[in-house]
Structure 1
Amino acid sequence: MSLQAKRVLGTSAAILGLLVGWRLLPAGHTSGAPPSPGTTSPRDRARPTLVGTPAGRAPPMSGAVNAAAPAAEALASELEVLRLSLIERFGSRLHEPSVQLRMLEQLMRYFQTRSPDRWREELQTFLRKAFPGQYEALATLLRDRLDYEKWVKDNDAYLRGLDSKQRRAAVWDARNRLFGKETAQRLWDSELKHQALVDALQVIDARQDLPLTEKLSAYKARLGAVYGDGAPAQLARHPQETMNRFLALPSVQRELTGMTSAERARSLWAVRQEMGLNDEALRRWDALDQTRDARWEAGLQYMAERTALARTLSGDALEARLQEVRARYFGTEADVIAQEEASGLFRFTRPRQWGRN
């Protein structure tokens, strides 16, 4: 057999083993077609029936192997495939607590499905064999993770009774106590960064003396302080989310509302440019803003006409006129608007969010 063929067969076996391990295929079933009951292979038909063997029962095979041996071998092979897949996915960063925890949580789900009553023992056995050099750290993190889960469940009612600030303080107190402060901060690093930005935006929004351009500068400075050298990468990965957080500030929306259309277009372009969007993306957003402006202008005119009609008409007569008005303002989208109104949603009574809707 060629080396390439061996590699293909080895890869296929690994994939099938992984699928079986994750219950995507039932154990022992690696074919697309189920075996047909009552069918026999040519080899089976050629095998003579021993005298005294009941019909339909397979004759005993000489040198039969205990079924437990191949089952154990299959399990070992399955777990080895699992180990290799984990190393491939997490190995280069397995020294990081957050990566360790992510791997452990995946393994928890795997072993809980596989062995609901003994999943923890089997998981620890797997960790000891698969990652002997990191077993102590992984076992400790697993224990702390389970203790934290129990604490959250036991204190659910208490936490619900707290306001957001008190709840955050209580949760962090438990995390620091169970995991250690340094490990807890590394595990929930993204949450800490997110909260730091939320707090910063609240401060920026409260600064009524700052114009939009200075608020944007303060926001970018805070992004740099929170993410450090990773700020450009964060912006590149989440440009719209980062931009929307700023545009959603009530003070920013008020300032945009007070601008002329041309001033507002220039301000939105500047915000997006500062968020790292390239020229092509900036042009797409500008075109979308113009489409939204036209839609909102038509929508507000429609609502004014609708209100006037509702003063003099009702029932079927009102609906008949509204169908005409909706078709005039919204064209092919008229039926969608009608369905929304029938469900109680009037999209053009919602606040206008410049740069967002």
Structure 2
Amino acid sequence: MNRRKAPLLVALALLLAGSALLVFKVRPGGDAAPESDPARAQAAASPQAQALAARNRAAPTAGNPEGAEAVEPPTGDLVSYLRSRYGSRIREPHTQMRMLEQLMRHFQKLNPTGWEADLLDLLKQAFPELYDELAQRLRQRLDYESWMKEHRAELKDKPEAERRAAIWEERNRLFGKEVAEKLWAAELRNTAVTDALKSIDAHPNATVGERMAQYKQSLQKTYGEHSQAYVQAHQQELMNRFLDLGSVQKDLMAMAPEQRAQNLRTIRQEMGLDPEALNRWDELDRVRDARWELGSQYMSEREALAQQYAGPELEARLTELRARYFSDEAQTIAEEEQSGFYRFTRPRQWGRN
């Protein structure tokens, strides 16, 4: 075996063996599942994060207001059910839309051609004092859905900023600006964070730490008193969005390994990870680093073989090379390469792969 490669293979084997306990966990059924998110268990344990996640569970799309629920209403006394479930907040547009979305699915399933009349009749029984407002909200919802379907192709061809402006113009026209902003509040917050990240990425001279500080400020500004709970509930997503910035990756690439490891740990710490989760991430980073170094050596040897051999002789030598480097994964890597995919020529995304 190549002397240069042998110590690295041993180190990688030890890292993989040790990390098995760190990045895999056993499901109730007994099978092991990869834990690609060491922050997830910690985030899910927070009561505030659980409450916020429940509130945001139904994420909006460009086509539908946020708050749609997949839960079917119970059979039986629907009037009592609606009053119990939605009555305390029925005057809020967000609550109204959640209820209407649920009832639309329910009645469309029961009566595809006459569902709207059935739904309106139920609303009149459950909330007679708000019937006109709820009927109007339903009509707004249906008109908006029709508009989105009619203009889907046109919107798809527009630049992002123009598409966003056109959609919001129609939302404001149908629902009124105040109501529309309440119905799509989650989308507005996400857009604000996206715009902040673009600004952070464009800053020419900021350090990774300074960019993280700006990022946290933008989250605080966007989510206000709920920012801490939101971060706890979305640690992985928020870390990924920050690490995906080209400026952050460029800075991490330029660092020495020890400095890069410390910066990655600081980023995760700023996102609220506890010491145990931070240590799991540190170990996963070491496994990834060893894997990429091994892949770099493999690609160098592969290129040298490709310059010396061709045809069946080259393939035989590549088969032996993959077996030496990757053992059980050799066949998978061979199939990837046959399809034109070379995993070790992908860009290295520090903290991501």
Q: TM-score, normalised by structure 1?
A: 0.75
Cα distance change, pair 87–261 in 1 and its aligned pair in 2 (3 A):
farther
Aligned with 2:75 (options 60, 75, 78): 78
Q: Max radius of gyration: which structure?
A: 1
Aligned position for 1:219: 215
Task: Find the counterpart in structure 2 of residue 235 from structure 1.
Answer: 231
* Aligned ranges 1:35-74 → 2 under 5 Å: none
Give the structure 1 partner of residue 52 of structure 2: none
**Displacement of 1:339 after TM fit?**
2.0
Which whole-Å CA distance do the structure 2 matches of 1:292 and 1:349 have between them? 15
Q: Does 1:142 align with 2:148?
A: no
Q: Percent of aligned positions with the same letter in both sequences?
A: 53
Inter-CA distance 316–92: structure 2 relative to 1 (3 Å threshold): farther
2:229 alignment partner AA: A
Alpha-carbon shift at residue 93 of structure 1 (Å)? 4.3
2:102 aligns with: 106
* TM-superposition CA deviations, 1:61-96 (whole Å, max 9, x none): xxxxxxxxxxxxxxxx9341x455555655554443
Q: Which amino acid aligns with 2:236?
A: Q
The root-mean-square deviation of aligned C-alpha atoms, in Å, is 2.0
Q: Quick one: which of 247, 265, 279 aligns to 2:275?
A: 279
The TM-score, its normalising length taken from structure 2, stands at 0.76
Alignment partner of 1:164 out of 160, 165, 177: 160
Q: Deviations over 1:216-251 (max 9, x none)?
A: 101101110000011001101000101111111000
Larger RCO of the pair (alpha carbons < 8 Å, separation 6+): 2
Q: Which residue matches 2:301?
A: 305
SS across alignment from 2:294: helix
Match of 2:172 in 1: 176
| Partner Cα separation in structure 2 for residue 299 and residue 354 of structure 1 | 15
Give the 3-state SS of the residue equivalent to 1:276 in structure 2: coil
Aligned twin of 1:122 = 118
- In structure 1, runs of 5+ residues without a counterpart are 1-20, 24-76
Matched, 1:264 2:282: no
Q: Secondary structure at the match of 1:324?
A: helix
Of 241, 249, 253, the match for 1:253: 249
Alpha-carbon distance in 2 for matches of 1:316, 1:289: 38
Deviation at 1:136, TM superposition (A): 2.9
Aligned mate of 2:151, from 151, 155, 163: 155
Runs of at least 5 residues in structure 2 that lack an aligned partner in the other structure: 1-70
Measured in 1, the distance between the counterparts of 2:232 and 2:279 equals 18
Name the CA distance, whole Å, in 1 between partners of 2:130 and 2:310.
74
